[in-house]
Amino acid sequence: MACAPRSAVEYAKTLAGDILLTYLLHPGTALYVGYSNLLENYNRLVLEQAARLERSPAGLMSTAAGLFVKFSYLYRF
């Protein structure tokens, strides 16, 4: 006897990576540089041909990426 699927939700794969670098000149004064990237398994062919999202069982593609720089300075008076 075969079992019926319990859900119609598509299989999703996600991989996220973050990097944060810090240069500390002295306590209270620092330079931060960070990068973030998100990979998901959307079907590339369907994305190019239609305006809908469809999952693929293999192949990750970058869906979001960001780079930031922050400088923090401690001012004493």
Give 22-57 pLDDT, tens digit per residue: 999 988 899 999 999 998 887 777 666 666 677 777
Domain assignment present for residue 2? The answer is no
pLDDT for res 57 = 73
Measured in Å, how far apart are the chain's first and last C-alpha atoms?
79
pLDDT for res 20 = 97
Residue matched to tokens 């999703």: 12
As a whole number of angstroms, the distance between CA 56 and CA 10 comes to: 9
Domain assignment present for residue 7? The answer is no
Question: How many domains does the chain divide into?
Answer: 1
Looking at residues 49-70, what average pLDDT do you find? 81
* Domain ranges, residue 45: 14-72
Domain assignment present for residue 77? The answer is no
Looking at residues 59-63, what average pLDDT do you find? 82
* DSSP 8-state symbol, 9: P
| Mean model confidence pLDDT for the chain | 82
pTM to 2 decimals?
Answer: 0.64
